[in-house]
Structure 1
Amino acid sequence: MTHSLTLGGVLLISTALVSPAALAQTAAPVLTAAAATADAADAADAAVDDAADIVVIGKNIPDAIRATPEVVSVLSAGEIARTGEGDIAGALGRVTGLSVVGSGYVYVRGLGDRYSLALLNGSPLPSPEPLKRVVPLDIFPTSILESAVVQKSYSARYPGEFGGGVIDLITKAIPDQSFVSVGIGASGDSETTGKLGYTYFGSRTDWTGFDNGTRDVPSALRAAMAGGNRIVEGETFDTRTIQGFTASLVNAPTSLLQRNGDIPANASGDFSIGKVIDAGDMRLGLIAAAGYSNSWRTKDARQQVSNGADSIGQDFRTVSTDNRIVVNGLLGLGAEFGDHKIRWTNLYIRDTLKQAQLSAGYDTNVPGADPVDSPDFLGTPPVLKQKTYWFERQLIDTQLVGEFKFGDVGVNLRGTYANSQRESPYERSFSYVYDAGTAQDYVNNLSAGGQSADIAFSDLNENVYAGAIDLAWNVPADREIVVSAGYSYGDTRRTSVRRDFQFFRPDGALNLAVAQERPDYLLSDYNIYTYNIQLREVTPNDATNGAGAYKAGLRVHGGYAQVEGEIVPLLRGSVGVRYEDASQSVTPVNLFGDTPFTGRSLANDYWLPAATLTWNFAEDMQLRLHASKTIARPQFREMALQLYQDYESDRQFFGNPNLNDSELFNAEARYEYYFDRGQRLSVAGFYKKIDNPIEAFGFLAGGGQLQTSFANAPSARLYGGEVELLKYFPLGNVSDAAFFTTRRLVLVANYTYSKSELKVGAGDTVVDPFGATLAASSLFNNGDPLTGQSDHIANVQIGLEDEDRLSQQTFMLTYASKRVTSRGPRQGDVQQPDIVEDPGLRLDFVAREGVSLFGGEAEIKFEVRNITGRGYREFQQGANRRIHTNLYNVGTSFSLGASIKF
């Protein structure tokens, strides 16, 4: 059979790989599995239809696998539905070799998110996270996606930033038939729902994910911030003006922490509509979808910071409650005429997090507050801190894709514009200290000794413009040969601003009576004017030691040529090369002066070859060999000298402008056996050599605060193997009972072993964030694993499903071994132990049942997540003590949802 290897075909792999069983899982009427299998059985085991056909032996190898020489995994709509996950990050965590770390960042074969490329319908996406250039995939609801294609071996048609793999999210386009679908859901967990948590008022519209203007920077203060002067008392601003700025800030709604003894359950809803119109030879389609979710999560965490290999500098119990609101919408228009397809996809996602946090504990930087062996967090611990946050992440994306076929020539065109934003207004924090003497109460004198109040405003905006053209020609020849070439252009521009302020009293410490007041009273208008409490800007503004703002850009021109075809019968090959020319810059912005800062620019070009051989050596069996070169560029935030607070880890990050590109060599061998229709066994081995890998390392900043930055390690090696099995066991022969007649047992299992090692020699050097050249051994140890890499990752799904209707019951077991999240801080010549996360074992259960209701097809879904109650564990293991960087119970969650489709 002949296959055209155009990019459009690759993007539609997902459709080809939907097995009959997966189709049978949907509520819409489809062909039965038996009928589909019967049709497939009519195909010959080996076929040579004409002089240009590929010879393939085996009827069970899916067409899409026959058509591509690369290593591809596809998560179809049915497979996504079986996992029951609400976002695509969770569903991708079930794919062989993939793991999800933090807030939706997908690691491929243990390589960090920097080595994973995320695309939407083949086009790049901007990230709403200051720390990342990669978009967090937990913001993509599964309801708006048709499938996800994961390609682990590089081909020249993809961008060169391909270290671990590419994840291409395919949105729904033209529906098979017109429909209307409505869904609702409710959920909760054992650590949050109905339990104690902390909240604050904010604004009346917070439940929508949109602030009503309460958190806008007051107009007078905003104008002063735009004037190019630091907001401090002096020549530009007199005392009365500064007091006016201070009093203009919204106070109690953003600073008053409230106990909530009954945190509500989570709720969600979605609506979608699809319309198909056949007009002569043209088929037109529309899909519109909208979704809303409102969820709560409370973490009662033990958070410690070391100040030595076995000693603790800070020890806190922190209770934080997150209220997360996600609003999304999708509008897709498509047209099919002849062999041509055009689709216009518009996507909107807004992900808002409202966080309230209270911490009690010990801190060596506060006099009389040194950590103790048996801390009393419920009594009167010496330090009390509270924080309130409001993080808005937003993504807008519009894409136009055309797929055209003119005989043996295929032409694909893509154009996209995307914008992402992250706003974090009113980042408030207060620190009180217990006065065991006169006051016998917690006090905050806004002066010293661990007593403070701070506020910050940050804003990030990023735009992406991208376009591409791909050409493919099926060469008329005795053997199947496809020659393809293409060009792509991408331009990413980011601006980020953060303004930091402290509340202080120039006349000295507040008296005890005022210092004992709760935060909103402490900063009341009366106190501001009576006791001269002032807002003082402390935004860093130094191109060397840190700046409050930066601009960043990445412009990439890429072109490729590739030849794919049959070398001899049963042996296919693909060879291609990509050329990329890129310029990347991160430039600090001088907020308080006319002299521009000098930033860092990288201008590099690369030739990136890739080659794959596929040998169909036996019936339904294939062997693939692959080798390629790829790159990984530093992310904007990793190069920016700007402090950033990560709400997930409650940790601060600081960039390094002296980073360089990483270069990778990749090799892989893979055996595939498709022993039955829709069933497979695969075994693979892989190897990667990385020059200049970018690694995170920890350091203790002023005040003993644990911060994380980045540096290029000299080199690293990664090698390992993976095995995957998908097997069905019909149960009709178990019993004559009607329950078993149409049911089968489904077993999906995969395991990945990977081992990584940093290579650090005696003469190797690194450059730290401040431009100092250090011995590489001062930050990294020879033989250390790469950050984020687990040696062992395993997923097992065992379930029952009905082959005639929607009825599934699935247990899902996930395991990931320990992985380093950051290098241990170094104090002088002493290297502290690495900070390690231990994900461990997790067990989930998902049940889906289809019923006929009101003339439509309804689905009821019940989920139990983390049945074993596995907690989150991040720590440093010293010789005599384990220091808990972040330790908390996750709890077991339950959810019930229903949807109906007409």
Structure 2
Amino acid sequence: MTKPLRLVRLLLMSTAFVAPATLWAQEAAQVEPAPVSADPAPADDETDISIPGADIVVTGRRSANIERNAPQVVSVLGAADIARTGEGNIAGALGRVTGLSVVGNGFVYVRGLGDRYSLALLNGSPLPSPEPLKRVVPLDIFPSSIIASSLVQKSYSANFPGEFGGGVINLTTKAVPREPFLEIGATIGGNSETTGRLGYTYYGTGSDWTGFGDGGRKLPSAYAAWRASGLRINDPSVNQQAIAGQFVTARNGIVQRNDDMPVNWGANITGGKAWDLGGTEIGLIATAGYTNKWRSRAVTQQTANALDLSSLNTNIRRVITDNRIVANALLGLSAEFGENKLRWTNLYIRDTIKQARLGAEDRPDTADANPGVSFQYQDTAWYARQLIDTQFVGEFKPFDDLGIDVRAGYANSQREAPFELSFLYSRSNSPTDPYGQFFTNTLNTGQRPGSASIAFSDLNENLYSAGVDLTWEIAPRVKAVYGYAYSDTNRVTERRDFLFQGNNNIPLGVSLLRPDLLLSQTVICFPPLNPTVDPDCPANPSPTGISLVDSTGSNPTFRAILRNHAAYFQIQADLLDQLNVNIGARYESAVLRVSPVQAYLVSPTLPPATNLSRDYLLPAATLTYEIEPQMQVRFSASKTIARPQFRELVFQTYYDPDTNRNFQGNPQLVDSQLTNAEGRFEWYFAPEQRVSIGGFWKRIKNPIETYASFDGNAVTTRFANAPEATLYGIEFEAKKYVDLGGGEGGVWANRRAVLIGNYTWSQSKLKVGADDPVQAFPFTGATLASQFFRDGAPLTGQSDHLVNVELGIEDTERLSQQTILISYASDRITRRGPSGQPDIFERPGIQLDFVARQGIPMFGKQFELKFEARNLLGTKYKEMQESGGNRIYYNLYKPGATFSLGGSVKF
């Protein structure tokens, strides 16, 4: 552990002595270019923030410290703060904020509450999610290069939507610059566990590297025709073999070994300009970016078949390789005339993962099924997420004491996952079996178990939103804000799963074939003994016994809507010079429906639908008292809600490739209702420097919790409302600058040390009575909550301890920053244990990062170099169960250390 620390120390000190403008650069240019300025100094900072019920663009505030002057408890990451962290996406930067942690692929937890209790807005307007498991958007799809600021508000105010369990995260995209510019950048990097090492992939299509593909993943003709017919797959008139024979090819069914995985790389370009047209300033900003990254994980996955975890049921070792390609573009137009401002923002993001998995298992002798048998697992998949968002925001000032803000937006999100292929081969290891030393796939569960499956899933979501806010100064230092907001979310999701099923007619020699040959038309349709039914596959049924079984469940397609009307009133008043009050209430009337869509002409019994129609009056109040000019205290109280997410309501099995978990929804979930209170002391002892400490408390009625249950050898994660829970904790935050120059010249002139740290301690407890009922579909009727939840257990996703520390050196006149970043999160439960077993939890541990940024004037231009080193301690990812001295790993792997070097030039 000392080597990474020594490396960071050397990097920090050596980079700190780099002169802001090198002698070589000065000699190379005939004219000394303007110095590369550091990020704006705090006194001159202009943070662009766009939220409902406030100034659309908050710039040039009476104090640059928004945290101090905001009527609520907020944390703001401006462009300089985001840049200092060096994170490539906004989720990583938010992980440095007090009380926030990032779980999985970009889902932000506020104060230990799950992502369902966090609300994400873009420029004050709601966002749809491209994730089938979530209604909230994963924030790792937002490159930090397109974000001007991120505001995190932890105490509720009525101008924000009522789904405010832990807090709201408002992202503001970059607006029009005051000066024209063009910036071009590129990065290259690698990972110690991936780059240049063993990984897996598959061909796919020739243009997969773009993240779009070239049409090679279009639905096969036979499958598309059957899907449109409305017939069940087992209908006698359906030629299953013709459909099955078109699914698997050498392009999508063969996992290929790569002993030298490529490097990560990316590029981006950003530009902007403003024009003054007769008193109206017109502005334009545009940005485009592309990244291509690889990640390999050697994962251990286990399950136990004993309550004390003393014996293994499964023990799989699997290598998972992801090729993640992200393309993004932003186009913003604005106009300013007098005190009126208009902004039109258009955003496009496409995030694609091309995944290949190869696993092996020697089934333990204690296994419930197939003890002593060896298995080989092979999977290929393509997950494409896309977000298109267009927003219009206007701020009008018709009178000195009246302001009108309007917002309107449309967003579309999509997720496509065609051809999710999985294959299981087995080896009996029996000396009496002539094929006992070979892996075979007989496509059945007999003496030589094997399987093959394919899935197609598609999600499309449209979100329409609008709002208007009127701010009226009814008296000196007293403002009243009236607002109305409307949002309409419509989602259609479809998933179809199929098993390739064989019988004993498959020759053992054929079962040795690789997947694309085993499931080729030649094998499925040979020999053509029956009369011609389809010219491509005349045998129906196949003499080899290979057929398709629809394993989707009761229904493949669901439609979900969430329509919400909201009105609010809020008073912001300075009652005394030292006393400020913000009080208001929000009324929301919402309809949430999730229902199965009949996909077949003759439909089976459909799963139950969800129809939640509730009205809420949500009060909120915050009092801020200034003890001294630099000290103040805040007290706040409010009521908020958290609605079930769409996918949590859909009774349909879904596989999450990131966590290797199966999920299934519960249509009987209801809203969670929260009562919130907190107090906070803040001391702003110097410009942009502060110390704060606060405490918070929440009571949650009907919190939605996850629990695990066994379906055969597979573990399925399900959802249910626990009766009640409480959450409380303490937050501490400090930010300090130390002048290193001492007023003297030399290498330390204009340099200062940056010391930033925050710590959150929290506790949560479920309250489960002996007779409390729970609706845990598919378990019929009301069952006891104590069968699923343990009284006094913590909430899922909540860590008792969260720590973030930033130690750095920076130049106040030129761009030169060197920062060590340390983060720690204690254990947190991911789901309740199955069948009486202990809870499953993850151990994030400590992460050590180093980021250096250096500006260099060269050839008359401004260059920036950035070096990043992440996870220098090599902290492993662990998701596990423990009982006494026994431990079971659900996911165990080494993420590795990541290094990258980037450069940009500004014209």
1:404 aligns with 2:372: no
Instruction: Quote the residue 1:138 is aligned against.
Output: 140
Q: Secondary structure at the match of 2:178?
A: coil
Any unmatched runs of 5+ in structure 2?
A: 1-33, 47-60, 527-542
Alignment map for 1:637-716 (pairs within 5 Å): 637-701=647-711, 703-716=712-725
Letter in 2 for 1:538: D
Any unmatched runs of 5+ in structure 1?
A: 1-25, 40-58, 373-380
User: How far did residue 273 of structure 1 move?
Assistant: 1.1
Change (3 A) 1:847 1:65: closer
Change (3 A) 1:755 1:368: closer
1:236 aligns with 2:237: yes
Instruction: Quote the residue 1:518 is aligned against.
Output: 514
Measured in 2, the distance between the counterparts of 1:789 and 1:743 equals: 39
CA deviation vs aligned residue, 1:184-229 (integer Å, no higher than 9, x gap) = 0011111000000111000111000012111111123112112111
Measured in 1, the distance between the counterparts of 2:658 and 2:407 equals: 35
Measured in 2, the distance between the counterparts of 1:644 and 1:693 equals: 22
User: How far did residue 435 of structure 1 move?
Assistant: 3.2
1:290 to 288, 291, 303: 288
Instruction: Quote the residue 1:494 is aligned against.
Output: 491
Change (3 A) 1:369 1:534: closer
User: How far did residue 270 of structure 1 move?
Assistant: 0.4
User: How far did residue 775 of structure 1 move?
Assistant: 0.7
1:171 aligns with 2:173: yes
Instruction: Quote the residue 1:69 is aligned against.
Output: 71
Alignment map for 1:154-169 (pairs within 5 Å): 154-169=156-171
User: How far did residue 171 of structure 1 move?
Assistant: 0.1
Change (3 A) 1:346 1:574: same
User: How far did residue 369 of structure 1 move?
Assistant: 6.5
Letter in 2 for 1:602: L
Alignment map for 1:375-454 (pairs within 5 Å): 382-406=374-398, 407-436=400-429, 437-439=433-435, 440-449=437-446, 450-454=449-453
Change (3 A) 1:672 1:27: farther
Instruction: Quote the residue 2:89 is aligned against.
Output: 87
1:898 aligns with 2:907: no
CA deviation vs aligned residue, 1:137-182 (integer Å, no higher than 9, x gap) = 0000000110101100000010000010000000011112111110
Change (3 A) 1:667 1:371: farther
Measured in 1, the distance between the counterparts of 2:42 and 2:665 equals: 57
Q: Secondary structure at the match of 1:656?
A: coil
Q: Secondary structure at the match of 2:265?
A: strand
1:325 aligns with 2:333: no
Change (3 A) 1:411 1:365: farther
User: How far did residue 732 of structure 1 move?
Assistant: 1.0
Q: Report if aligned partners of 1:824, 1:832 keep a CA contact under 8 Å in 2.
A: yes
Letter in 2 for 1:611: A
Q: Report if aligned partners of 2:498, 2:552 keep a CA contact under 8 Å in 1.
A: no
Q: Which moved more, 1:816-825 or 1:850-859?
A: 850-859
Change (3 A) 1:604 1:143: same
Letter in 2 for 1:441: F
Letter in 2 for 1:392: A
Instruction: Quote the residue 1:315 is aligned against.
Output: 315
Measured in 2, the distance between the counterparts of 1:103 and 1:63 equals: 31
Q: Report if aligned partners of 1:369, 1:382 keep a CA contact under 8 Å in 2.
A: no
Runs (4+) of structure 1 exceeding 3 A deviation are 26-37, 59-67, 362-372, 531-535, 593-598
Letter in 2 for 1:878: S
1:572 aligns with 2:574: no
Letter in 2 for 1:792: H
Instruction: Quote the residue 2:225 is aligned against.
Output: 223
User: How far did residue 635 of structure 1 move?
Assistant: 0.1
Instruction: Quote the residue 1:747 is aligned against.
Output: 755
Instruction: Quote the residue 1:538 is aligned against.
Output: 550
Q: Which moved more, 1:611-620 or 1:520-529?
A: 520-529
Measured in 2, the distance between the counterparts of 1:366 and 1:246 equals: 36
1:255 aligns with 2:253: yes
Instruction: Quote the residue 1:470 is aligned against.
Output: 469
CA deviation vs aligned residue, 1:296-331 (integer Å, no higher than 9, x gap) = 000001101222221321110011100000010100
Q: Secondary structure at the match of 1:253?
A: coil
Measured in 2, the distance between the counterparts of 1:111 and 1:408 equals: 40
User: How far did residue 873 of structure 1 move?
Assistant: 0.5
User: How far did residue 63 of structure 1 move?
Assistant: 5.5
Measured in 2, the distance between the counterparts of 1:509 and 1:627 equals: 70
Q: Report if aligned partners of 2:39, 2:815 keep a CA contact under 8 Å in 1.
A: no
1:781 to 790, 796, 799: 790
Q: Report if aligned partners of 2:823, 2:846 keep a CA contact under 8 Å in 1.
A: yes
Normalised by the length of structure 1, the TM-score is 0.90
CA deviation vs aligned residue, 1:19-40 (integer Å, no higher than 9, x gap) = xxxxxxx987689849859x9x
Change (3 A) 1:749 1:66: closer
Q: Which moved more, 1:438-447 or 1:575-584?
A: 438-447
Measured in 2, the distance between the counterparts of 1:164 and 1:533 equals: 55
Q: Percent of aligned positions with the same letter in both sequences?
A: 51
Letter in 1 for 2:507: N
CA deviation vs aligned residue, 1:359-393 (integer Å, no higher than 9, x gap) = 11145799997668xxxxxxxx7111111010010
Measured in 2, the distance between the counterparts of 1:509 and 1:216 equals: 32
CA deviation vs aligned residue, 1:589-638 (integer Å, no higher than 9, x gap) = 23224568451100000000000100011121110000000000000000
Change (3 A) 1:863 1:181: same
Letter in 2 for 1:398: T
CA deviation vs aligned residue, 1:547-578 (integer Å, no higher than 9, x gap) = 32211010000000011101222111011000
Q: Which moved more, 1:787-796 or 1:309-318?
A: 309-318
1:823 aligns with 2:832: yes
1:548 to 548, 556, 575: 556
Normalised by the length of structure 2, the TM-score is 0.89
User: How far did residue 401 of structure 1 move?
Assistant: 0.4
Q: Secondary structure at the match of 2:454?
A: strand
Alignment map for 1:868-883 (pairs within 5 Å): 868-883=873-888
Instruction: Quote the residue 2:776 is aligned against.
Output: 768
Measured in 1, the distance between the counterparts of 2:243 and 2:67 equals: 64
CA deviation vs aligned residue, 1:417-451 (integer Å, no higher than 9, x gap) = 00000100000000011033211200001122430
Count of residues paired in the alignment = 832
Measured in 2, the distance between the counterparts of 1:442 and 1:344 equals: 59
Change (3 A) 1:448 1:607: same
Q: Report if aligned partners of 1:848, 1:859 keep a CA contact under 8 Å in 2.
A: yes
Measured in 2, the distance between the counterparts of 1:228 and 1:837 equals: 44
Q: Report if aligned partners of 1:27, 1:901 keep a CA contact under 8 Å in 2.
A: no
